[in-house]
């Protein structure tokens, strides 16, 4: 008897539909899997055999052939355990197959018959919705994640017996918990800007970057608060919309990072160590996985001690930053992984970190300073539209300064500026603003990209102030955020 079960495999962050076919015929007893299975899928035969036996089911002593279609696509992971188990039971006549055509199944089996969580449940639920399937069966621990798709009926099972009860029509679907959108419209709770003492210029740069989605570079000596400021950036960004939250959750689900189920409600903040490889940063590998830039989608990618990263590693960011996506070609497929991020970098002014300080002399020669800065390529530095100086905070400000403005107040201004930018076609620069921009470009020898970047930052500043035109003072402030281009890193 032949049985067919609808399932999926993950390719990057995308759920690819599969059909698990099971045939039981005369021959030497055993389970044989074909269709380019990886090691985890090949080993599922042993897990399925033991799990079914320990759950009270009988496996016929015959030749069982499992075919994973399409045959030319490599299958990975343990999510095919449950589809294979159900296929065997239906083919053996121990479970009905009437519901299988409209049911998408995914789940890993423990040897005791329990169902373990798997990666990619939300992409699977969205796939079922696109295919017009009416039901999806997943481990109970992943049911809340699948419900976020708001599509097919979700069945969460804890054991193989419960999964068979679903196939028999004896189990009701999982009930959606209300308020899955709860928290999507609230401000992200996390580190608050009120913790930052002083640094008025850097705080303003952070606000402008958040309002315009500009990439931000902070240059200052060690211990001046660059990392502290960067970690507070997500708290002043607008909350995720539902569509954005679903997109981010799909990424985290495919990466196996959805810990508590449901939607990811906070904007991501990723801060990889400088020893990371290019593949770790942008994604890829043998079984393509999302990199840090994709995990930071709709959020912040923070690269601390930027010159310590490998130059070749950093340069792989250039195309994804321009296109907002990473494209990975594997055999006859090209994978697209979204990567719309705010890139935030932090670096010292020199090797010793004291260049420009009045209280500590710099021990670096001009050649050493130039070599330190050359670790980051010019084309990448050019993509930081805001390059802000972060000087050390005087001791008196640390001990006597009152708490800074909280993140909630800054977030309101940022949200208002974004609304203005979305409703306007873009305020035109005044004649004085154009003249100032031209003088800055000629005087600093900036590129065409830097010209457009200054204009974009000036437009953001105008939106923050509610101005209907870009004035000369807006351009002047935007030019002040080109610390590296002006040759004064501190």
- Of all residues in the chain, what percent are helix, strand and coil, respectively (each to 5)? 40, 20, 40
pLDDT at 459 over 90: yes
Return the sign of the alpha-carbon dihedral for residues 80, 82, 84, 87.
negative
- pLDDT tens digit string along 151-171? 899 999 999 999 999 999 998
Neighbouring C-alpha atoms within 13 Å toward the C-beta of 468: 0
> Does some domain include residue 292?
yes
> Do residues 145 and 213 share a domain?
no
Residue at a domain's end among 127, 150, 167: 167
> Does some domain include residue 177?
no
The enclosing domain of 56 has a CATH number of 3.30.230.10
Residue at a domain's end among 132, 167, 202: 167
Question: Which residue is listed with tokens 């930018």?
Answer: 421
pLDDT at 363 over 80: yes
Alpha-carbon gap, residue 386 to 405, rounded angstroms? 21
pLDDT at 184 over 60: no
> Does some domain include residue 452?
no
Q: What is the mean pLDDT of the chain?
A: 90
Q: Are 149 and 126 in contact (CB under 8 A)?
A: yes
> Do residues 116 and 197 share a domain?
no
> Do residues 126 and 240 share a domain?
no
Residue 176: per-residue pLDDT: 62
> Does some domain include residue 367?
yes
> Do residues 351 and 224 share a domain?
yes
Residue 37 contacts by C-beta under 8 Å, 6 or more apart in sequence?
44, 68, 75, 80
> Does some domain include residue 432?
no
Burial of 64 (0-12, 13-18, 19+ CB in 10 A): buried
> Do residues 239 and 380 share a domain?
yes
Neighbouring C-alpha atoms within 13 Å toward the C-beta of 173: 15
> Do residues 161 and 223 share a domain?
no
Partnered with residue 103 across adjacent β-strands are 135
Residue 123: per-residue pLDDT: 96
> Does some domain include residue 307?
yes
> Do residues 375 and 283 share a domain?
yes
> Do residues 226 and 364 share a domain?
yes
> Does some domain include residue 479?
no
> Do residues 274 and 335 share a domain?
yes
Q: For residues 60-84, give the mean pLDDT.
A: 93
Q: Who has greater pLDDT, 415 or 262?
A: 415
Q: Who has greater pLDDT, 402 or 452?
A: 452
- pLDDT tens digit string along 2-48? 999 999 999 989 999 999 999 999 989 999 999 999 999 999 999 99
Whose CA is closest to 146, among 237, 79, 201? 79
Alpha-carbon gap, residue 330 to 178, rounded angstroms? 41
- Total tally of structural domains belonging to the chain: 2
The pLDDT-based confidence of 177 (bands split at 50, 70, 90) is: low
Tell how many helices (H) and how many strands (E) occur in the chain.
20, 18
Span of 179-188, 378-387, 398-407 with lowest mean pLDDT: 179-188
> Do residues 138 and 200 share a domain?
no
Residue at a domain's end among 118, 133, 167: 167
DSSP three-state, residue 429: strand
Domain extent at residue 51: 2-167
Alpha-carbon gap, residue 191 to 229, rounded angstroms? 9
> Do residues 106 and 159 share a domain?
yes
> Do residues 158 and 215 share a domain?
no
The enclosing domain of 326 has a CATH number of 3.40.50.300
Residue 390 contacts by C-beta under 8 Å, 6 or more apart in sequence?
199, 201, 202, 218, 219, 220, 224, 225, 226, 229
Q: Who has greater pLDDT, 226 or 399?
A: 226
- pLDDT tens digit string along 225-277? 999 999 999 999 999 999 999 999 999 999 999 877 778 889 999 999 999 99
> Does some domain include residue 220?
yes
């Amino acid at each position: 008897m032949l049985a067919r079960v609808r399932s999926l495999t993950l390719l990057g962050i995308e759920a690819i539909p599969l059909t698990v076919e099971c045939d039981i015929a005369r021959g030497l007893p055993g389970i044989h899997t074909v269709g380019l299975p990886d090691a985890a899928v090949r080993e599922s035969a042993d897990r399925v055999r033991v799990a079914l036996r320990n759950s009270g089911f009988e496996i016929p002593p015959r030749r069982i052939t499992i075919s994973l279609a399409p045959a030319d696509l490599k299958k990975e992971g343990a999510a095919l355990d449950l589809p294979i188990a159900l296929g065997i039971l239906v083919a053996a006549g121990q479970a009905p197959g009437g519901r299988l055509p409209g049911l998408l199944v995914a789940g890993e089996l423990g040897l005791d018959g329990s169902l373990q969580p798997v990666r990619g449940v939300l992409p699977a639920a969205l796939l079922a919705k696109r295919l017009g399937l009416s039901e999806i069966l997943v481990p109970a621990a992943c049911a809340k994640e699948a419900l976020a798709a708001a599509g097919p009926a979700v069945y969460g099972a804890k054991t193989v017996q419960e999964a068979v009860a679903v196939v028999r029509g004896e189990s009701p679907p999982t009930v959606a918990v209300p308020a899955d959108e709860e928290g999507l419209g609230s401000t992200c709770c996390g580190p608050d800007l009120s913790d930052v003492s002083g640094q008025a210029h850097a705080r303003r740069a952070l606000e402008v970057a958040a309002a315009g989605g500009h990439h931000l570079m902070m240059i200052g000596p060690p211990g001046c608060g660059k990392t502290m400021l960067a970690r507070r950036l997500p708290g002043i960004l607008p909350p995720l919309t539902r569509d954005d939250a679903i997109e981010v959750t799909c990424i985290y689900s495919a990466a196996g990072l959805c810990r508590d189920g449901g939607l990811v409600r906070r904007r991501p903040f990723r801060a990889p160590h400088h020893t990371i490889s290019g593949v770790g940063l942008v994604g890829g590998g043998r079984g393509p996985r999302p990199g840090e830039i994709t995990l930071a989608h709709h959020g912040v990618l923070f690269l601390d001690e930027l010159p310590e990263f490998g130059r070749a590693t950093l340069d792989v960011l250039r195309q994804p930053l321009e296109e907002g996506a990473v494209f990975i070609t594997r055999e006859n497929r090209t994978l697209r992984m979204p990567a719309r991020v705010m890139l935030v970098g932090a670096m010292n002014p020199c090797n010793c970190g004291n260049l420009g300080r009045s209280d500590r002399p710099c021990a670096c020669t001009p050649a050493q300073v130039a070599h330190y800065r050359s670790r980051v390529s010019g084309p990448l530095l050019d993509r930081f539209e805001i390059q802000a100086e972060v000087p050390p905070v005087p001791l008196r400000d640390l001990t006597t300064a009152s708490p800074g403005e909280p993140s909630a107040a800054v977030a309101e201004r940022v949200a208002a500026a974004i609304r203005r930018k979305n409703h306007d076609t873009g305020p035109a620069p005044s004649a004085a603003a154009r003249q100032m921009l031209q003088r800055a470009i000629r005087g600093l020898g900036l590129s065409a990209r830097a010209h457009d970047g200054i204009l974009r930052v000036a437009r953001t500043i105008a939106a923050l102030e509610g101005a209907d035109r870009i004035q000369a003072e807006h351009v002047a402030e935007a030019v002040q955020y080109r610390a590296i281009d002006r040759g004064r890193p501190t």
